[in-house]
Structure 1
């Protein structure tokens, strides 16, 4: 069975030289080379406002760019999310995208007196996070709090499982050789579809 994969590039800077962009491209290339169907969502290029009220989240209409992204996310069996760690968490633009996309009726069905029902069951995800600090420091000293929130309180809550993570530390001072090793690893993940 051919797997449909959505690659969500969450770096808010559209500059082509960003490591996150190269990683997203490497994954997509590996997946396409293995015969998988791949679509990409580039959050930096999407036009959408930030949500400012519960009413806008619950009953507002998704902007066209978000509605199109939601169609890609529905289509995909597997999501690959790539973003840099900023202040211990995902960048605000990426978080704004998640808030817009995960509206009621897309990710969750709210039920009076009960916990919401996840509507994205049957999908899996890989989250790739780059950071300036060593990844072990983020994982064991800071307990990967931002990543854990995305994994457990957003993706898993909506029914996405399993969610796997790849943490790439010390990205700011990374040599070309080290960057190329990471690109090769991520391309291999794309070929494997995981």
Structure 2
């Protein structure tokens, strides 16, 4: 399978970076083709430009400024997103990735007659989220109801890749996680990637 992995963390020695390496290594060991992206290391600018916003409803949207990421997204049959949750949401750089890469003509097209959008990522079969939260499980899932997961599932994927199966692997209470808990999480990540 063609798998595109994306890391959204500014520190190359972070636990998220270790998760990303673990995932990519296991995927390659299982025989998958893997194309990686490290949004911070690649200098990705997350802010939608005025020109990009002005052209959002043009017949031919210009995504050339992010062409390498667009190419990897179109190539992928599976997507692996690796990031921490900050304030119960994905990092701004990852939100910017969706704003600038999952655009008209790439992830969806506008239905001029009905005002809705029509999915274009029909080849994307799987999206895996490998993430962490500083908060414990009960606060994230019961009290906050994990808003970022709901937006990704009910909003982004339903609109652009409705056939993609979401796989979700989170380490909760990261701020107090022991080395043993982190090692167990890396084992879970590797096992999840082996089942892709």
Instruction: Kindly provide the CA deviation profile for residues 156-188 of structure 1, in whole angstroms up to 9, marking residues without a partner as x.
Output: 210242112222101122111111111111011
Q: Does 1:143 align with 2:140?
A: no
Tell me: higher relative CO, structure 1 or 2? Use CA pairs within 8 A at least 6 residues apart.
1
Instruction: Kindly provide the CA deviation profile for residues 85-118 of structure 1, in whole angstroms up to 9, marking residues without a partner as x.
Output: 1111111111111100011000011011222110
Partner of 1:92: 92
Distance 1:58 1:20, change over 3 A: farther
Distance across 1 between alignment mates of 2:186 and 2:179: 10
CA contact (8 A) 2:4 2:80 kept: yes
Distance across 1 between alignment mates of 2:64 and 2:45: 6
Distance across 1 between alignment mates of 2:88 and 2:156: 17
Distance across 2 between alignment mates of 1:16 and 1:47: 15
Partner of 1:30: 26
Distance across 2 between alignment mates of 1:99 and 1:146: 15
Q: Which runs of 5+ in 1 are unaligned?
A: none
| TM-score calculated relative to the size of structure 2 | 0.88
CA contact (8 A) 1:32 1:191 kept: no
Distance across 2 between alignment mates of 1:99 and 1:22: 26
Distance 1:58 1:172, change over 3 A: farther
CA contact (8 A) 1:4 1:75 kept: yes
Q: Which runs of 5+ in 2 are unaligned?
A: none
Distance 1:44 1:57, change over 3 A: farther
